[in-house]
Chains A and B, each alone.
Chain A
Amino acid sequence: MDEGYVEAGGKGVRRVSRRRFLYGAATALGGMAIASCSGVPFGGSKQKVHFWNLFGGGDGARLADMESDFVKSHPEIDLKATTLTWGAPYYTKVSMATVGGRPPDVAVMHLTRLPAYAPAGLLEPLDPDVLSEYDIGPDRFLPEIWEAGKYNGEIYAIPLDTHPQVMYYNTDICKEAGLLDSDGNLKPLQGRDELIDAFQKAKEITKEQGIAFAPADAVVPWRLFYSYYGQLGGEVLSPDASEVVLDQEKAEEALSFLVELTVDKQFTPSNQDYAAAVAQFQSGNAGFHWNGEWEVTTFLDAKMPFSMAEFPDVFGNKRVQADRHTFVIPKGIAKDKKAFDAALQFVGSMLKSSLIWAEGGHIPAYRSVLESSKYKNLKPQSNYAGVADKVVLDPKAWFSGSGSDMEVQVSVPMQQAMAGGLDTKEAVKQIRAAMQELVDTPKPF
């Protein structure tokens, strides 16, 4: 037998000290269990609101400010906010929680994801009369934005913002390149030649990158491609998502432009990921940066000389890829009247605080904020507010949307093309094949 082996009741222990450890742990556990059963230390009797979102980074900080506004003005409500990883991990958890009967009271959802949630019965339809009690209604938003949150005539999503791709530019570098006008703003760049000229000048000054973007990111290629493809007037899917209508020529033209930037002119390395692209622009190694407007907080915090302009119009109709963040109430929450009420109070409060959100770069949807002078004076955030009605959102389909499998899958051939490893014609064929496969997949609800 081992030395120090104790012959006594209880599980096998080597020395008494181990037994004490187990007893101690068991007591602590028992204590906590009793405490949690009575519910006292783990939260009192305040009405709780569970809020799920996928906002990290600068967005997360802004969100926290808005949340504390809510907490201050609603001391009787206990807000429990959770941030999950952006994209599929977040959306999968939301679906599974709703299916399992324990969803959050209110959640953020990209508008482009609505076709995967509303028809699947995962969201509560919202009664306009009830909503108006919380200052939410069609008169509070621009009509096309309010209507977009509906499915089959019912309201499911309450819009918070529109977030398009934009072009950031380093004001010092652009000044040196002679690209700024007398007010210090970027002179509008129209068409391919002017844009490439600008990037070339920037590259010569930085000696590194003309423009920094992220060909290696999982979804950035899609966003850029879709913007330019939209500028050429192309559609990807038929309105009912039953057919792929990708236009070979337009797609090739859009993709070739991106390939030219990475492969021919080498303005940005083709293996650059999202974080690296942001870092390169932030440290002044690139004159321009394509990204969503949400990174404005990062650059403001870095106190670097920059401003923002609308996404460049290369092919003539100023379209740009965007999405809209909305608030949704998962199915099952309406049964609990108190929770439902608290959730809507939360949404109302967040909408009213959305100037803070706009400081984070987003174009607010709530009209009282959008049309306020405070917002209009927000520079550079309000520079691109004009694109709000020119955006192209992902095609409406259950498999589509921000961070969806579709975006990831079609970005793969785009990445390969931008790395010079795949011919554009072939890449577009693969994009079409990927879309076709998704269209052919039977809808799971």
Chain B
Amino acid sequence: MTARAETVQQKKVNTGRRTDLTGYLFVLPFLIAYGLFLVWPVILGLRMSFFDWSLVGTGTTDFLGLANFRELFGDPDFWASLWHTILFTLLSTPPLVLIALGLALLANRAVPARWFFRLAFFAPYVLPVSTVALIWVWLYQPGFGLINSYLVSLGLPEVDWLAGENVAMLSVVIATVWWTIGFNFVLYLAGLQEIPEELYEAAALDGAGAYQQTRFITIPLLSRTTFLIVVLQILASLFVFDQIYIMNTSGGLNYTVTRPIIQYVYEQGFTQYRVGFAAAMSYVFFVLILVFNIVQFVLARRRRREA
């Protein structure tokens, strides 16, 4: 350490309490906002779930104990909508990860006009969800919808994309993949460009072909990026609400097979006035998310230790 640094160190020690105060002042504005709009709602939500809170303001003092929780655990609609959310996550995460990876691998090669591909894949990501939902509802129309008209011109039967029981969730997944793949694509591209050329060159000298290079160099070295993308993707999918809600209400999307848990919470709380019950459901879902986050956090730590 230099002499100057030592002086500075002493200065820091001498002004301990003032440093503390300064530190608190720096974080205070953020913490106030954080406390008011993130922490307090969490606490309030917990409180609401134990009472018979109603949207119109009644029931705030009717203590229900665990009644709301008992009700939701026995509510088939709760489980069904939770399943829809999980199904959506299961169906959308693999394509959003794998297709993005595939496109990024292709784009990482010496292809011209890469700006064009980045634009094509990422532009949908900046569109608001309403635009995306409305466009896809229009694409999925029977008769004059573009997708069905292409199917018919190929001699295939029309598909009931929006109303069909077996297809409705898939339609949402397809629209979501189109919408958000750009984000993963960019993340993968960045990860790919972190891999040094020299590794490839060395492997090529050893006789490894393109496929082997990809399998044994690229994919393993991308594992951190992949882990990040998978985690982010799963979290984003679990919170799905916007596009399904809009496609349900403005597009005739089959409601019984697609309604996610957040939408059920919204409906019970705001349409049916039962905000206490809705808060209880939010809480149960929040705990599930928390468990997931802890699991992935532990996994990430373990991987970092191994790496």
**A and B touching (Cβ–Cβ under 8 A):** yes
**A residues whose Cβ falls under 8 Å from a Cβ of B:** 85, 87-89, 91-92, 95-96, 99, 116, 120-122, 216, 218, 271, 273, 275-276, 399, 405, 408, 412, 441-442, 444-445
Apart from A85-B250, A95-B273, list 14 A-B contacts with CB within 8 A.
A85-B249, A91-B271, A92-B267, A95-B270, A95-B271, A96-B270, A116-B273, A120-B54, A122-B56, A405-B271, A405-B272, A412-B256, A444-B54, A445-B54
- Cβ–Cβ contact A445 & B273, under 8 A: yes
Q: State the CA gap A300–B164 with chains docked (Å).
A: 31
From the candidates A85, A216, A412, A444, name the one contacting B55 in the complex (CB within 8 A).
Answer: A444
- Cβ–Cβ contact B272 & A121, under 8 A: no
- Cβ–Cβ contact A276 & B58, under 8 A: no
Nearest CB of chain A from residue B32's CB, rounded to whole Å: 24
Please name all residues of chain A whose beta carbon is closer than 8 Å to the beta carbon of B58 when the two chains form the complex. 444-445
- Cβ–Cβ contact B255 & A444, under 8 A: no
Please name all residues of chain B whose beta carbon is closer than 8 Å to the beta carbon of A442 when the two chains form the complex. 52, 274
If A122-B56, A444-B59 touch, whether A89 touches B272 (CB-CB below 8 Å) is no
From the candidates B57, B142, B249, B250, name the one contacting A276 in the complex (CB within 8 A).
Answer: B142
If A88-B271, A276-B142 touch, whether A99 touches B55 (CB-CB below 8 Å) is yes
Question: Is B145 on the interface with A (CB-CB < 8 A)?
Answer: no
Please name all residues of chain B whose beta carbon is closer than 8 Å to the beta carbon of A121 when the two chains form the complex. 56
User: Which among A99, A275, A408 has the greatest number of chain B C-beta atoms within 10 A?
Assistant: A99
Please name all residues of chain B whose beta carbon is closer than 8 Å to the beta carbon of A276 when the two chains form the complex. 142
Q: State the CA gap A273–B179 with chains docked (Å).
A: 28
Q: State the CA gap A444–B58 with chains docked (Å).
A: 8
- Cβ–Cβ contact B56 & A95, under 8 A: yes
Q: State the CA gap A87–B250 with chains docked (Å).
A: 11
Please name all residues of chain B whose beta carbon is closer than 8 Å to the beta carbon of A273 when the two chains form the complex. 163, 252
Please name all residues of chain A whose beta carbon is closer than 8 Å to the beta carbon of B160 when the two chains form the complex. 271
If A95-B270, A405-B272, A444-B273 touch, whether A89 touches B163 (CB-CB below 8 Å) is no
B41-59 contacts to A (CB < 8 Å): 52, 54-59
B228-283 contacts to A (CB < 8 Å): 249-250, 252, 255-256, 267, 270-274
- Cβ–Cβ contact A399 & B55, under 8 A: no
- Cβ–Cβ contact B55 & A96, under 8 A: yes
| Count of chain B residues with a beta carbon within 8 Å of a chain A beta carbon | 22
Nearest CB of chain B from residue A235's CB, rounded to whole Å: 24
User: Which among A91, A271, A444 has the greatest number of chain B C-beta atoms within 10 A?
Assistant: A444
Q: State the CA gap A122–B58 with chains docked (Å).
A: 12
Nearest CB of chain B from residue A331's CB, rounded to whole Å: 9
Residue of B nearest to A438 (CB): B272
Please name all residues of chain B whose beta carbon is closer than 8 Å to the beta carbon of A99 when the two chains form the complex. 55-57
Please name all residues of chain B whose beta carbon is closer than 8 Å to the beta carbon of A412 when the two chains form the complex. 256
Q: 28 A–B contact pairs at CB < 8 A?
A: A85-B250, A87-B249, A88-B271, A92-B267, A95-B56, A95-B271, A96-B55, A96-B270, A99-B55, A99-B56, A120-B273, A122-B56, A271-B164, A273-B252, A275-B252, A276-B142, A399-B272, A405-B271, A405-B272, A412-B256, A444-B52, A444-B56, A444-B58, A444-B59, A444-B274, A445-B54, A445-B58, A445-B273
Please name all residues of chain A whose beta carbon is closer than 8 Å to the beta carbon of B56 when the two chains form the complex. 95, 99, 120-122, 444-445
Q: State the CA gap A122–B57 with chains docked (Å).
A: 11
Q: State the CA gap A427–B155 with chains docked (Å).
A: 37
- Cβ–Cβ contact B163 & A216, under 8 A: yes
Cβ-closest 4 pairs across A and B: A444-B273, A444-B54, A92-B271, A120-B56
- Cβ–Cβ contact A444 & B272, under 8 A: yes
- Cβ–Cβ contact A92 & B270, under 8 A: yes
Residue of B nearest to A218 (CB): B255
- Cβ–Cβ contact A408 & B255, under 8 A: yes
Q: State the CA gap A95–B142 with chains docked (Å).
A: 34
Nearest CB of chain B from residue A141's CB, rounded to whole Å: 29
Residue of A nearest to B252 (CB): A273
Q: State the CA gap A273–B163 with chains docked (Å).
A: 8
Please name all residues of chain A whose beta carbon is closer than 8 Å to the beta carbon of B142 when the two chains form the complex. 276
Please name all residues of chain A whose beta carbon is closer than 8 Å to the beta carbon of B252 when the two chains form the complex. 273, 275
Nearest CB of chain A from residue B248's CB, rounded to whole Å: 9
Nearest CB of chain B from residue A119's CB, rounded to whole Å: 10
Nearest CB of chain B from residue A330's CB, rounded to whole Å: 12
